[in-house]
Amino acid sequence: MSIVTVGTVAFDAIETPFGKTDKIVGGAATYIAWAASYFTSDINMVSVIGDDFDMDELRKLEARGVDTKGIDIKDGQKSFFWSGKYHMDMNSRDTLATELNVLMEFNPILPKDYQNHDILMLGNIDPTLQLSVISQMERPKLVVMDTMNFWMDTTPEQLNEVIKEVDVLTINDAEARQLSGEYSLVRAAKKILAMGPKFLVIKKGEHGALLFHENHVFFAPALPLEEVFDPTGAGDTFAGGFVGWIARTKDISFDNMKRAIIYGSAMASFCVEKFGTERLQNLTQEEINERVQDFVDLVQFDIDLID
C-alpha cells in the first residue's frame, strides 16, 4: 500500500537537560517519512519549504524511496522554524520562537499521481488544510489524522469537520480529555469515536499508548529507555511507524493495528535517543526487530489463575 503524508518540513532548535542544538531538520512530515521508510518505499510527501532549506536532507529521504515532488519550494523565503526548551521531565517545554515563514501561505496541492494512493497520513496542520487535502484525493483505503490542542482552541468547528472524515485519529491524553470534555479516557474515547473516526489512538508519552475501536481497547506500554535526549518528533515518528506497518502488511483490521501500535512505539523509542532525525537515519532492520521484541518481552508472561 502507498502512503501520502502532508505536514511540515522545518527547522528546529532544541534544548533539553542533556544538550542543545542549533538549527536541525524537523517537521511532522519529515519524521513520518523517515519512520515509514523502514516499512515501505512508496511514500509521497506534501509540504512547503523556503530556499534556505538543506536540499541534502531531501536527497537522503529520496534515497530511501520517498517521493518529494509534492514539496513546494518558495524562492526568496524562509522555512518554518520552531525553537523550544524542555524541562527535566521531558514532557513539558517552553516555546522560545515560532517563525511561520512559508507556512503562512501553505496551500497543499497534491500532484495528480498522489491522488489515488492507499493511505493518507495528515500531519498536525490547520484542519482547514487537512480537509482540503482529503477533498483532493480519490477515497483512500485509510485516512489517519494527527492534531493538537491549539486547533481545539482556535478552530473547533473546522476540526470537528475533519474528524468526521478520518478513519484513525491520533492525539495525546490531554488532547483527548479536552476534545471530549471527559476525564476518563474510556469515556473520552467513546465520545470521540462517536464524532466519526473508526479508530482512536491516545498517546501517553512515557506511559504508552491506547487503541480504541468500537468496544475494544488495546494498550501498548512505552519501553523504559536508559537514554532520552530529545522527545521532539516522537509522536510523528510513532505515526510514521504506525502507517508504515499497515502499508507493508496491507491489513487495516483492529488486530493488525495492535501490531502497528507496537511498531510505531518502537520507532518513537529510537527517535528520542538522539536529537532530531539523527537516530532515524541510521537504523538497521535488525535493530528494529530487536526493539520490537523488547516490547513483546515487556508484556509477555505466564500466570496461574486461582482455582
Distance CA 12, CA 80 (A): 9
Residue 72 near residue 49, CB atoms below 8 Å? yes
pLDDT of amino acid 223: 82
In this prediction, residues 147-169 reach a mean pLDDT of 94
pLDDT digits (tens, 9 = 90+) for 24-53: 999 999 999 999 999 998 999 999 999 999
Q: Can you give the C-alpha Rg of the chain in angstroms? A: 18
Is beta strand 209-213 parallel, antiparallel or unpaired with respect to 199-203? antiparallel
pLDDT digits (tens, 9 = 90+) for 229-247: 788 899 999 999 999 999 9
Distance CA 82, CA 121 (A): 22
3-state secondary structure the chain: CCEEEECCCEEEEEEECCEECCCEEECHHHHHHHHHCCCCCCEEEEEEEECCCCHHHHHHHHHCCEEEEEEEEECCCCCCEEEEEECCCCCCEEEEEEECHHHHHCCCCCCHHHCCCCEEEECCCCHHHHHHHHHHCCCCCEEEEECCHHHHHHCHHHHHHHHCCCCEEEEEHHHHHHHHCCCCHHHHHHHHHCCCCCEEEEECHHHCEEEEECCEEEEECCCCCCCCCCCCCHHHHHHHHHHHHHHHHCCCCHHHHHHHHHHHHHHHHHHCCCCCCCHHHHCCHHHHHHHHHHHHHHHCCCCCCCC
Residue 202 near residue 180, CB atoms below 8 Å? no
Residue 96 near residue 225, CB atoms below 8 Å? no
- Residue 301, pLDDT > 90, answer no
Please, which pLDDT band fits residue 159 given cuts at 50, 70 and 90? Answer: very high
Distance CA 287, CA 280 (A): 11
pLDDT of amino acid 172: 92
- Residue 198, pLDDT > 90, answer yes
pLDDT of amino acid 218: 95
Q: What are the structural domains, with CATH classification, of the chain?
A: 3-297 (3.40.1190.20)
Residue 186 CB contacts under 8 Å (≥ 6 apart), including other chains: 217
